[in-house]
Structure 1
């Protein structure tokens, strides 16, 4: 089913490309938050097991994908801006659940700390409260390439680090996407990393006690950058959180292989109290021209 496309005006400041996958039998709506520089195509695998259960909302950040043409790019936006955009979209689409991937977890948790009344549960994937040694090394190299607007090396870096367990087809699309971005997108990512590395504990841990809904954190067994061990630090700050580890998977989880896709499906749908479908329709999606990114 093709989504309903709309450009949503956020506070008369940003215009955001959205995709709404309606399910006539669904009683709940879930909104998905991309990682940095990714677009709605990043969730091509995830939507296969979400849309049969929920209404699904995807969107591109103002600086990325199909939102780019509707916005000026005079300066980078902050993670607080991204959290504000998310809160507005939650209200606009009356979302009940939230799912974030990778760096999208920063904006997601900043938004959740403001206690959006509609959100009942949230799933945070491939995210960690710590910037460990592998992540700091990755970010340091990334900032060098991003500041130089060196897309070729940014693409190679992503595929050789957090993307090293991706299938070769996905790596090719990922590199093609990352190496051909507009200049402002590299500068946006540079500004984003610069902001994150100067945050207290990476995601402002002191604000997490305000989050009052159940959270599920999903990480890959072999993801050294946002590891299953590091993510458990959240248990010290959150009243209601669970953890799931996807076996034999890295940072990109359900994109990496069928078993990881099935485990991700089960963990997420069980947490949201939905029954997974008995049949599976996994196949690596060809629709990755807008890429999976970071």
Structure 2
């Protein structure tokens, strides 16, 4: 897997680093939307799960990763701006699908609410429309540490909460990444958290009601922060709603262990590339059998 790398100009305001993994046999392209402060590296396993069935596009937000040197960072980005950046990338890469992780779900909802013509399906993982008690506790402590630019406490907080089911090696990488960020990145995450704390469920639902494509909401069984049962609140508002709960997995899903990785891969491919329906047999005997709901 060797990507085509480009730094794209977005409406003359931002420069966005992108990686495009093209596969000869792929008919569709999927764009991956990072969580807060994450980079293209965060989707390494998911990209392997999707390639070569799909062309896979990864990108860094203007404030993060390899986009960071190309931008000024004068003020934090809103979810609306991140949604507009995603819409520009959808058009540039002619993408049919998008997949988001965690905070990336907010930008994905904004983009999907605009009903981009090319998009056929979307996957929103580790996201829910409500702030439950565990999430509120995590966000409030995070806001305190970020406001003080206490990088070590931020790293410890993430690993002891949403990252608690990660393997020890991933926790070390996570801690090193989070505790060595630039000050503008902490300001960006602080802005994200304060926005989430001030947002009510109605705002997320309003966006969801405008979505006109099938959406798969994928959450970990052990994720108490963006819980599977909370994500199912979208069922009353997204017209074509699907759900998958990854067994024995927390917030980071396919990064946590091999079984969760395989379950995540199967759920993604089943939704994005459903098996063709078998040809109907024209002449057959029909018997009265009871119908079972599965």
- DSSP 3-state at the match of 2:119: coil
Instruction: Give the aligned partner of residue 124 of structure 2.
Output: 124
Over 6 Å off, 4+ runs: none
Within-5 A mapping of 1:76-87: 76-87=76-87
Q: What does 1:71-220 align with in structure 2 at a 5 Å threshold?
A: 71-201=71-201, 203-220=203-220
Aligned residue number for residue 244 of structure 1: 244
1:191-244 CA distance string (max 9 Å, x none): 111112212317531232110000000100010001111110001111110110
Give 1:45-84 correspondences, 5 Å limit: 45-84=45-84
Q: 1:152 to 1:203 in 2, by over 3 A?
A: farther
| Whole-angstrom distance in 2 between the partners of 1:7 and 1:261 | 30
CA contact (8 A) 1:53 1:274 kept: no
CA distance in 2, matches of 1:202, 1:176: 36
* SS of the residue 1:44 aligns to: helix
TM-score, normalization by structure 1: 0.92
User: In structure 2, what is the Cα distance between the partners aligned to 1:164 and 1:203?
Assistant: 29
Partner of 1:9: 9
Q: Which has the larger radius of gyration?
A: 2
The one of the two structures with greater contact order (alpha-carbon pairs below 8 A, sep at least 6) is 1
Residue by residue over 1:234-283, the C-alpha shift from the partner in whole angstroms, topping out at 9 and shown as x without a partner, is: 011111101100110000000000000000000010001256xxxxxxxx
Q: How far apart are the structure 2 equivalents of 1:114 and 1:181?
A: 32
Return the TM-score normalized by structure 2. Answer: 0.92
- Would you say 1:259 and 2:259 are equivalent positions? yes
In 2, Cα distance between equivalents of 1:6 and 1:206: 34
**How many residues get paired?**
275
Q: Helix, strand or coil for the counterpart of 1:204?
A: helix
Q: Distance in 1 between matches of 2:247 and 2:112?
A: 28
Task: State whether residues 147 and 190 of structure 1, in contact with CA within 8 Å, keep that contact through their aligned partners in structure 2.
Answer: yes
C-alpha distance in 2, partners of 1:123/1:202? 21
SS at match of 1:122: strand
Q: Distance in 1 between matches of 2:86 and 2:149?
A: 28
Q: CA RMSD in A?
A: 1.0
Equivalent residues of 2:130, 2:200 under 8 A apart:
no
In the alignment, what sits opposite 2:279? Answer: none
Matches of 1:126 and 1:82 in 2, distance apart?
Answer: 18
| Aligned mates of 1:82, 1:30 — CA distance in 2 | 17
In structure 1, stretches of 5+ residues that fail to align are 276-294
SS in 1 for 2:52: coil
Q: Partners of 1:31 and 1:69 in 2: how far apart?
A: 22
CA distance in 2, matches of 1:117, 1:147: 40
Which residue is 1:222 aligned to? 222
Q: 2:8 and 2:202 mapped to 1: Cα distance?
A: 29
- Say if 2:38 is the partner of 1:35: no
Q: Tell me if structure 2 keeps the 8 A contact 1:196–1:202.
A: no
Q: How far apart in 2 are the matches of 1:256 and 1:199? A: 29
State how far apart, in whole Å, the 2-side matches of 1:274 and 1:257 are.
Answer: 25
> Alignment partner of 1:12: what SS?
coil
